Amino acid sequence: MKKIVLRSDGTAVYMTQDIGTAIQRVKDFDIDGMVYTVGNEQDYHFKVLFLILSKLGYEWANNLYHLSYGMVDLPSGKMKSREGTVVDADDLIAQMTQTAKTISEELGKLGEYSSEEKDELYKIIGLGALKYYILKVDPRKRILFNPEESVDFQGNTGPFIQYTYARIQSILRKADVEEDKLNIPEGYELHEKEKELIKQLQTYPDTIQLAAENHSPALIANYTYDLVKEFNSFYQNVTILGTSDEVEKNFRVQLSKAVGNTIKSAFGLLGIQVPERM
């Protein structure tokens, strides 16, 4: 491996700065490892960086990891690159917010919202769509980002999951149930859709662990989508609030609440907000 760490005139290069920054971070934050989330164009750079730090005698260099992600492209070019078309992140976020506004207005679901509430919701939907579209793909793969497709309220998208969360919150507001824990009542015979939903909920902790071990938020993103699909199948096949059986109603409301809490937790790990109404 070959890499310049100092120019002949004594001035620093990127490698020099990264060596110093790594050492300073360990001192400042008392940590023993770091994950560098940088595009795969820099694979060689980080291999050399970690090797240099190791040869300098820093044991924590063995705990450095380069999360090498595939580049993100737009129809007009790369989202961020020193070459070709550069797409400004602020402009993209503004575009996503506008796209969310256009699609939401076409659907006509926000009639009772004030202008301020609408603007906040458009931002939550737009940013959620952007983040989820990117995070649902394995980070090592190159992505072609389609803004219109990402804000679709159907399919494997952030807005689809956000909408399901809002639907669950609507159910909880209508329900008069105070029990906070999900308990299967004694003697209660579970519907097949309830069984499938419970099974899906039980795999959440293992999914988080697996995502951490593999440095892959995509596992959490796609778990959430699978959970939402399972909930919507449950929602379409069983009666929740309309059932005359109070035990059945209470259990199904609590099951819905558990799903909502899991969606919120999973999206929180991905840095995505969920709206209470939508």
Catalogue the long-range contacts made by 85-93 (C-beta closer than 8 Å, 24 or more residues apart). 92/130, 92/147, 93/126, 93/127, 93/130
Q: Are 50 and 57 in contact (CB under 8 A)?
A: no
Mean pLDDT computed over 192-216? 96
pLDDT of 82 reads 44
CB 262 within 8 A of CB 270: no
Q: How far apart are CA 125 and CA 54, in angstroms?
A: 44
pTM: 0.81
Name which of 129, 153, 127, 169 is nearest 259 in CA terms.
169
The predicted pLDDT at position 46 comes to: 95
The pLDDT tens digits for 9-34 are 878 888 999 999 999 999 999 999 99
Q: Which pair of structure tokens corresponds to residue 133?
A: 């579209």
- 148 token code pair: 């219109």
Tell whether the model's pLDDT for residue 104 goes beyond 70. yes
Helix (H, G, I), strand (E, B) or coil at 72: strand
Q: Which one-letter DSSP state was computed for residue 74?
A: E
